[in-house]
Structure 1
Amino acid sequence: MNTILHKSGTRGHANHGWLNSYHTFSFANYRNPERMNFGVLRVLNDDHVAKGMGFGTHPHDNMEIISIPLEGDLEHKDSIGNTTVIKEGDVQVMSAGTGVFHSEYNKSKEKDVKFLQIWVFPNKQQVTPRYDQISTKDLEKVNEFYQILSPNKNDKGVWLHQDAWFSIGKFNKHTSTEYTIHKQKNGVYFFVLEGTANIEGQELETRDGFGIWNTKVIKIKAAKSAKILLMEVPMNI
């Protein structure tokens, strides 16, 4: 078993006034050659967008882009005809493929938006751009992980062009569980959204990240109540 720990306080940080962002991996002006990615997981940004502000129209290509709102509502517009609002409890995925332009705005004048911006390298290049969004409210469970993303179009959650599985777990204090990796040579990156947890003996606090690979089953225990995002991804790009 191999592991890597990224404490919350070691992340890259950029405060633009309208945007306060923490970068687990190198992004924009934050460059750390030892923190470029975890397998095909390229970007994990913890973004806080001020009232009435947002990201203007900008391009992407050949990347799977996942957005997970944690608080507030974010309006999405793109060049393939989508205008939607994503909010807490939703998961959005956009396959940029041959190229797409999009914008993201906090339309509220009263409340900031907090969301995770995640990029995953795809296993197919130059695909037709696509967009998908779901509410995970009907998938939610307590004291076990529930899947929100996979490679399978007919599976639970959204899908993407990669052998990756994402799940979220909400756990009461002292609850224990195990996670079995779907595919050989995949690894798992855990990101603690709230609370504290112990994963394979490593104590983790809010916004800590912990990667594990070269194993099949991973043991997780909530030291206190905890909410955890789990991202299983191929380790080879």
Structure 2
Amino acid sequence: MSRRLRVAILISGRGSNMDALIEAARAPDFPAEIALVVSNRPEAAGLAKAKAAGIAVAAVDHKIYAGREEFERSLQIVLETHAIDLLCLAGFMRLLTPWFIGQWRERMLNIHPALLPAFRGLHTHERALAEGVKIHGCTVHFVVPEMDEGPIVAQAAVDVRDSDTPQTLAARVLEQEHLLYPRALRLVASGAVSVVGNRVLGAASAPEPALIVPSSG
């Protein structure tokens, strides 16, 4: 097996997707290791969970910096010190500058709670219900300077039920996020996919499915 890529997870809170990535990376054949968890909030609950799992943690408190650039340059130093190869955003509640994103071009993933390009931005579940869509879900994509517009690595879908509220829909989508993010990271870390323009090629022929459509039950 070739060298496992070193992954840092960036969080701002409890990090439920972080938990899923850590668990998946425990498999001996997983092509990446979770080497670091970083939060912009020192009090983030996910830091304690990651530390308990034996993973290095760091807090880069955005509030002590004069601006985004100063914060991101400190963050970049931490990532370089830990020899990080890939970044996974998991509830990281900071807008990143084009400079920082450029340092991690095609090496930074995010998970969004909607089937992009639909419902970019916030309040995705409320908007999906208001629009009356029948299929909703989540997307793992590479991060680009434009919000939620990066090349799509993988998507998972759920049926929208007549009885759904934003909370019940969010809960089912979150279940799929926890399955999808590790699969997408495996695809990227193993080199199974490539980016051409705004398309990710190779995911459809990968061993694990890029699209999950569970029954409504």
- Using structure 1 for the length normalisation, give the TM-score: 0.29
Greater per-residue helix proportion:
2
Greater per-residue strand proportion:
1
- Using structure 2 for the length normalisation, give the TM-score: 0.31
